[in-house]
Each structure stands twice: as C-alpha cells, then as structure tokens.
Amino acid sequence: MKAYYLIKNGSSDTAFELRDLKLNDPNDNEVMIETEVFGLNFADVMARLGYYKACPPLPTVIGYDVAGKIIKKGKNVTDLEIGQRVTALTRFGGYATHVNTNHHGVVPINDEIDAATATALATQYSTAYYAAEFSMSLQKGEHVLIQAAAGGVGTALIQLAKRRGCIVYGTAGSEEKLEYLKKQGVDYPINYLKHDFYEYIKKQRGEKSIDAVFDSIGGNYVKKGLKLLAPGGRLAMYGAAQIAGNSDKKSLYRQLKTLFSFGKYRPTQFFAQSQSLIGVNMLQIGDHKPNILKKCMTDVVKLYEKNEINPVVSKNFNANELAEAHNYLQKRKSTGKLAVKW
Ligand SMILES: NC(=O)c1ccc[n+]([C@@H]2O[C@H](COP(=O)([O-])OP(=O)(O)OC[C@H]3O[C@@H](n4cnc5c(N)ncnc54)[C@H](OP(=O)(O)O)[C@@H]3O)[C@@H](O)[C@H]2O)c1
C-alpha cells in the first residue's frame, strides 16, 4: 500500500512524498477501497498552502474522492458488498492506493463509468447537488449566478440549474473558459477578471435581480452578490478561493483582507427582504447528516446514469505527476474535474 503524503506546506514541487501506507482494518462503519483513481479538489490546494483548518497535522494524506473496489468492510456495513466498484467521498486519505472511509460516503457504480468521471460525482457533484437542491431549492425560471462556473463544482451547478429550468449567469477568469461556459449552456458568461460582475448584471437586469448566488470566492464577491439578490433570494457560500491568491506562500494579510472585504450584515436586512445567506460544508454534512450525504451521492449517480448530468474531466494525470496536477489546478488552468491515476 502506498500514499502521497503531504509533508510540507508550500510549493507542489516539495509538498508531497510517496511513502508506504500502514492502514488498519476498516472500523465497524467503514469499507476499505482499493483505488483506481483519486480526484483533485481545490480544497487540496488550500490544504497544501496551509489554509485549510480541517486538514490533519502533517505529515498526512489528503484527498476527498476516489473510485475503486471494496476489498474489506466493517460489521455494520450492510448496504455495500466486498468486490463492488464504487465512488467515494473520503474525509482525507484519498491520495492513496487504499483508503478506509465511512460507508455513508460510498456509492456503487457500474463498470461502464470511467473512474475519473466517478470521482467528480463523489465530491463536486454531491456538493453542488446539496447546495442546489437542499440549501437553495432552485425553482424553474429563477435567475442564478454561479461564480467560478467553469470549475468542478461550477460545472455541476450549471448542469443542475439548467436541469431545473433556471437562467444562468456564470463567471470565469479567461476567454477559453467563457467558451466552455457557452458550451455548457450558460446564458450570460462573464469574464470576472475583465469586467466587474456586479456592474455587468446590474446593467443587464438591475440591482435586485438575482434569485440565487453560488459563491466559492468569498470576501467582496459575497458582499456584491448579496447586493444583487432579489427579495426571496438566497446566497450559498461554499468556498473562499481568493484567499489562495497566486502565491505558494501563506499570507495572513490576504486572509485578513478577504475576511474584512465580506462586509457587515444585519439579520434584519435578511428578514426585511426575505433573503438568506447559507453556508455549505460537506464535511459537516457527512459528519452530522450522513444519510443526506448518502442521498446526495446516490441521486447524482442516478442522474448520471439517466444522462441528466455530464461531468467533464479536463485532464487525467499519472500519480507521478501529482505536483504538476496541483499546479495546474492552483494556476486556474483546469475546467471541470482533474483526476490522478495510479
Ligand atoms: N464547502 C464544501 O463542502 C466544498 C466542497 C467542494 C468544493 N468546495 C469549494 O468549491 C470551490 C470549487 O472547488 P473545485 O474543486 O471544483 O475547484 P475549481 O472550481 O475546479 O477550481 C477553482 C477555481 O476557482 C477560481 N479561482 C478564483 N480565485 C482563485 C484563486 N485565487 N486561485 C485559484 N483559483 C481561483 C478559478 O477559476 P477561474 O479561473 O475561472 O477564476 C479556479 O479554476 C473551491 O473554493 C472549493 O474549496 C467546497
């Protein structure tokens, strides 16, 4: 058994080391998975840079999703069988040939689905599904703004919002990504590094015109997003990518700047406009509402099988290219999902 350990915060070139992995048998509620592929998530970049509070102390194995085969299971696991091919949301530990994880984050997949695509369903689609269906309850005809829409969660949100008959505004940071958004069916693609998304939407539709905002950037993006909300509108925040900046060095200044640029909100302002500010954190959902995590994962696998969603894997890497893969994600080159094959 092998794993890529995160041994040092900072540059991807020096952050990871391939080591032998000592893994105990799964506990009563866990299965052990022999992995074909593990997925990358932006939270992994945040963990590498030292920004991710939930990350265990180093050296540790990070990684949120894998696809592979169950080779052992605990005595309380009755919904899964040894030998089944599965996709799984792991609570760290994914960058490994083998991982133990709670059965609530594990769903069977058929032999036809490509393993990298399956990893996109585990984290990014289940997050998007929980946010769009449970937290935001998107309705037909609603105007929806998705920040960083060309990314993994962003792509999933576009597809789930279009499935519900929403009008989608999607932001991204390059002209190539804008082309990608058009292909995904985004009605109003906006290059937010060239144009102020708030001014753009205000000019198109007026200030209080958006029913749902999905924000993974944080700070002033949330502040401006709230100003765009119509009465009855909701804003879901599920990330703060701007803290990462474009450097390998952790910056307290950037953390504080992001924190202060959120602005100040009063409960009465939400009450007066019947609006909501909602947080989404799938680790908390997995820990405290495991049946909901299971339902989200099962539902997205079914939607995939019915061709109602279509994850995009923009690049597959080999395990010995992990540093390159991390850099690719951090430097904003990816669209959709990135996966790493053993
Ligand atoms: N709360 C949860 O449970 C949960 C679960 C999964 C993911 N997330 C969050 O959701 C977001 C999307 O995750 P993902 O894995 O699908 O990643 P991703 O969207 O594929 O990649 C991140 C994207 O964020 C944009 N971005 C904006 N500012 C950036 C910066 N300073 N540095 C790098 N990228 C920046 C880039 O798109 P542009 O080039 O278009 O700007 C980049 O491609 C992340 O913030 C992640 O932490 C949260």
pLDDT given at position 207 = 87
Mutate to test the pocket of ligand 1, among 91, 153, 197, 214 (most ligand atoms within 8 A of CB): 153
In three-state secondary structure terms, 340 is strand
Q: Flag whether 129 is in a domain.
A: no
> What token pair was written down for 63?
């990684």
Instruction: State the CATH number of the domain containing residue 261.
Output: 3.40.50.720
Mutate to test the pocket of ligand 1, among 283, 313, 332 (most ligand atoms within 8 A of CB): 332
Q: How far is the CA of 221 from the centre of ligand 1 (A)?
A: 13
Whether residue 113 is found in the same domain as residue 242: no
Given CA atoms 98, 103, 107, 111 in this order, what sign does their dihedral have?
A: positive
Against a cut of 0.95, is the pTM above it? yes
Region of residue 162 (left: phi > 0; alpha: psi -120 to 50; beta: else): alpha
Residue 211 makes CB contacts below 8 A (sequence gap 6+) with 139, 142, 143, 144, 166, 229, 230, 232, 233, 234
Whether residue 238 is found in the same domain as residue 207: yes
Residue 276 makes CB contacts below 8 A (sequence gap 6+) with 233, 234, 235, 270
* pLDDT over 70, % of the chain: 100
Whether residue 72 is found in the same domain as residue 93: yes
Whether residue 17 is found in the same domain as residue 97: yes
**Taking the C-alpha atoms of 276, 253, 255 and 150 in order, what is their torsion angle to the nearest 10 degrees?**
90
**What amino acid is encoded at 241 in this protein?**
A
- Answer whether residue 224 shows pLDDT above 90: yes
pLDDT given at position 262 = 95
pLDDT given at position 123 = 96
Whether residue 237 is found in the same domain as residue 318: no
Q: How far is the CA of 98 from the centre of ligand 1 (A)?
A: 26
Whether residue 276 is found in the same domain as residue 296: no
User: Which neighbouring-strand residues pair with 287?
Assistant: none
Residue 147: pLDDT band (50, 70, 90) is very high
Given CA atoms 117, 119, 120, 121 in this order, what sign does their dihedral have?
A: positive
CB 87 within 8 A of CB 38: no
CA distance 28 to 80: 13
Q: Domain end: 280, 299, 327, which one?
A: 280
Whether residue 209 is found in the same domain as residue 318: no
pLDDT given at position 115 = 97
Q: Flag whether 130 is in a domain.
A: no
pLDDT for 174-218, tens place per residue?
999 999 999 999 999 999 999 999 999 999 998 899 999 999 999
Looking from the CA of residue 130, the nearest atom of ligand 1 is: 3
Whether residue 75 is found in the same domain as residue 54: yes
| Residue range of the domain that includes 75 | 2-123+290-341
Residue 227: pLDDT band (50, 70, 90) is very high
pLDDT given at position 61 = 98
Q: How far is the CA of 145 from the centre of ligand 1 (A)?
A: 15
The CB of 332 under 6 Å from ligand 1? The reply is: yes
CA distance 316 to 73: 29
Whether residue 214 is found in the same domain as residue 276: yes
The CB of 285 under 6 Å from ligand 1? The reply is: no
Whether residue 177 is found in the same domain as residue 94: no
**Mean pLDDT computed over 14-25:** 97
pLDDT given at position 246 = 86
Listed range (62-71, 161-170, 239-248, 294-303) with the worst mean pLDDT:
239-248
Q: How far is the CA of 196 from the centre of ligand 1 (A)?
A: 19
Given CA atoms 100, 102, 106, 108 in this order, what sign does their dihedral have?
A: positive
Instruction: State the CATH number of the domain containing residue 45.
Output: 3.90.180.10
Whether residue 64 is found in the same domain as residue 35: yes
What's the DSSP call for residue 9? S
Q: Domain end: 258, 280, 302, which one?
A: 280
**Mean pLDDT computed over 216-221:** 98
CB 66 within 8 A of CB 39: yes
pLDDT for 26-66, tens place per residue?
999 999 999 999 999 999 999 999 999 999 999 999 999 99
Nearest CA to ligand 1 atom 17: 42
- Looking up tokens 């709230």, which residue turns up? 226
pLDDT for 74-132, tens place per residue?
999 999 999 999 999 999 999 999 999 999 999 999 999 999 999 999 999 999 999 99
Q: For the chain, how many structural domains are there in total?
A: 2
Whether residue 53 is found in the same domain as residue 28: yes
In our burial notation (b when 16+ CB lie closer than 10 A, e otherwise), range 64-98 reads bbbbbebebbbeebeebeeebbbbbbbbbbbbbbb
Task: Quote the mean pLDDT of the chain.
Answer: 97
Closest C-alpha to 338, from 306, 315, 311? 315
Looking from the CA of residue 336, the nearest atom of ligand 1 is: 20
CB 14 within 8 A of CB 8: yes
pLDDT for 228-244, tens place per residue?
999 999 999 999 999 99
Nearest CA to ligand 1 atom 13: 42
Q: Flag whether 312 is in a domain.
A: yes
* pLDDT over 90, % of the chain: 98
In three-state secondary structure terms, 168 is strand
Q: How far is the CA of 65 from the centre of ligand 1 (A)?
A: 16
Q: Domain end: 262, 280, 298, which one?
A: 280
